[in-house]
Amino acid sequence: MANNRMEQSRVNRSRSDRQKQRHRRKRWIQITLLSFLFLFTLVGVFLYQVWGTMTQTYHPYQTDKREKAVTLNEPFSILLLGADSRDATSNWRPDVILLAAINPSKHTVRIVSIPRDTYVPIANTGGEYHKINSAAYFGRKKVNPNGPGSIKNTAETVEHVLNVPIDYYIKVNFKGFTDVVDALGGVDVNVKFPFKQAMIGGKIASFKPGPKHLNGSEALAYVRMRKGDTQGDAGRNLRQQEVITQLLDSAVSLNSITKVGDLLDSVGNNLSMSISPKDALRLQSIYRKIPKEQIQSERLQGENRRLKLWYFFVKDSERQRVSDLFRTQLGLKKEPVQPFHTKSEE
């Protein structure tokens, strides 16, 4: 009898243990499912925010120099514009004009900076010659009835200067630039010579030769200084390329949701681009695969000369040299640039 009671007790304990195990497994599964649901919700909200922010900055653009729009699977060009405004406004001029040609299959990039004082005929003005950074001004309808908009007029002017199609553009103003630098944790540069430059707000930034880590305000002062550079705009352009290359390297390596969120928050209304949200993610992947030694920077040769104002003059032969390099990079046949009829010889 005692044995029967002991056996029954053992059976009851075994049944209880099995029930507890099933209960624990069921609870573990519930917790796991809830965890996955929470994770997917977070990711979904984040992607929605990313997509929403990028959609707000997206403004389609189509060049007239292509029979059909290219995709990011083909060689393509991007015009990078740094606007001299501190907030979102229609009244701006480009302080930085940089053209990049990217070949995804060869994993190569060519970059050239165009000095803002370059003396060129401005698009949609009937051939009027001005500094190239005034193309944005003459693109405004309030200024020029034939103006197609500041960005398109700037792009068309650059296309005419180098005879290279511009497939995409990215425009960022001063505020966006400083905030992006800060969101990416700053930028490292190698200062070539000592100089001082006023920052936005009036404070003075001092730069001494050697490696230096810059915050957003310091980086903006670093790329804007030119009067204290013996190379003038040429030296300024080299500093711009140095900083932009560093920022691109930092941006494509982002793998933290927090950092991406900070970067998007910093963009706000300070960025405009013709790259769709889907293509922006693809562009990050393309750039990440390009070795640094495959990124070649070109210098647009010319000289400063005074008419009524100081301008930067570029010979047709130099325009042709750069045009040939970029058309080759884009897989296009070389074509002669249209000669400029300027007062550069006066």
Taking 50 as the threshold, does the pLDDT of residue 190 lie above it?
yes
Is residue 231 within 8 A of residue 87, CB to CB? The reply is no
Parallel/antiparallel/unpaired status of strands 303-306 and 204-207: unpaired
Taking 60 as the threshold, does the pLDDT of residue 26 lie above it?
no
> Is 205 within a domain?
yes
Write down the pLDDT at residue 175.
81
Comparing 293 with 6, which gets the higher pLDDT? 293
- Residue 146's CATH number: 3.40.630.190
> Is 105 within a domain?
yes
Comparing 203 with 31, which gets the higher pLDDT? 203
> Is 4 within a domain?
no
Taking 50 as the threshold, does the pLDDT of residue 138 lie above it?
yes
Is residue 78 within 8 A of residue 284, CB to CB? The reply is no
Distance CA 335, CA 40 (A): 52
> Is 51 within a domain?
no
Comparing 113 with 35, which gets the higher pLDDT? 113
Q: Band of the pLDDT at 339, cuts 50, 70, 90?
A: very high
> Is 39 within a domain?
no
Write down the pLDDT at residue 345.
41
Phi then psi for residue 31, to 5 deg, are -60, -40
Write down the pLDDT at residue 13.
57
Taking 70 as the threshold, does the pLDDT of residue 42 lie above it?
no
**Which of 154-168, 199-213, 267-281 is least confident?**
267-281
Radius of gyration of the chain (CA): 28
Tokens 């080759």 -> residue: 328
> Is 343 within a domain?
no
Comparing 346 with 213, which gets the higher pLDDT? 213
Taking 70 as the threshold, does the pLDDT of residue 144 lie above it?
yes
Q: Band of the pLDDT at 91, cuts 50, 70, 90?
A: confident
Q: What is the percentage of the chain residues whose pLDDT exceeds 90? A: 40
To the nearest whole number, what is the mean pLDDT of the chain?
A: 81
- Reported as a single tens digit per residue, the pLDDT across 285-337 is 888 888 888 989 888 999 888 888 889 999 999 999 999 999 999 999 999 99
For 41-63, what is the mean pLDDT?
62
Comparing 224 with 333, which gets the higher pLDDT? 333
Comparing 255 with 81, which gets the higher pLDDT? 81
Write down the pLDDT at residue 156.
97
Is residue 130 within 8 A of residue 141, CB to CB? The reply is no
**Which of 13-27, 120-134, 193-207 is least confident?**
13-27
Number of structural domains found in the chain: 1
Write down the pLDDT at residue 243.
86
Distance CA 26, CA 20 (A): 10
Query: Nearest Cα to 279, choosing from 69, 81, 110?
Result: 69
> Is 201 within a domain?
yes
> Is 28 within a domain?
no
Domain that holds residue 312: 58-329
Taking 50 as the threshold, does the pLDDT of residue 215 lie above it?
yes
